[in-house]
Amino acid sequence: MKIGILGAGSWGTTVAHLLARKYDVTLWARDQSIAHEINQHHLNTKYLGQSELSPRLQATSDLEIAVIGKALIIVAIPAQNFRDVLTQAVGFFNSDAAIISLSKGLELKSGARMTEIIASVCPNHTRGVLTGPNLAREIMSGFAAASVLATSNPKDQEDLQPIFHSPLFRVYTNNDVLGCELCGVLKNIIAIAAGMSDGLGAGGNTRSAIITRGLAEMTRLGIAMGAKPETFAGLAGMGDLVATCTSEQSRNHQVGVALGQGQSIKAITEQMFMVAEGIKSAQAVTQLAARYDVTMPIATEIAHVVKGDRDAQQSFRALLKAGIGREDEPF
Q: Using CA atoms, how far apart are residues 104 and 185, in angstroms rounded to an integer? A: 5
Active-site residue flag, 187:
yes
Q: Using CA atoms, how far apart are residues 74 and 114, in angstroms rounded to an integer? A: 12
Give the C-alpha distances (Å, rounded to integers) separating 252 from 192, 194, 291: 5, 9, 25
Alpha helices, H only, the chain:
10-20, 32-41, 45-48, 63-67, 79-89, 114-121, 136-140, 154-164, 177-199, 204-225, 240-246, 251-260, 265-271, 277-291, 297-307, 312-320
Angle between helices 177-199 and 277-291 (to 10 degrees): 120
What SS3 state is found at 149?
A: strand
Residues 6 or more apart whose CB falls under 8 angstroms from that of 283 comprise 108, 303, 306, 307
Residues 6 or more apart whose CB falls under 8 angstroms from that of 59 comprise 8, 26, 27, 28, 29, 34, 35, 36, 38, 39
Residues 6 or more apart whose CB falls under 8 angstroms from that of 120 comprise 83, 112
User: Catalytic pick from 46, 187, 228, 321?
Assistant: 187
Q: What is the DSSP string of 43-54?
A: --HHHHTTPPPP
Are 214 and 298 contacting, i.e. CB atoms less than 8 angstroms apart? Answer: yes
Question: H-helix or E-strand containing 295?
Answer: none
Q: Using CA atoms, how far apart are residues 186 and 207, in angstroms rounded to an integer? A: 16
User: How many Å separate Cα 34 from the centre of its chain?
Assistant: 22
Catalytic residues: 187
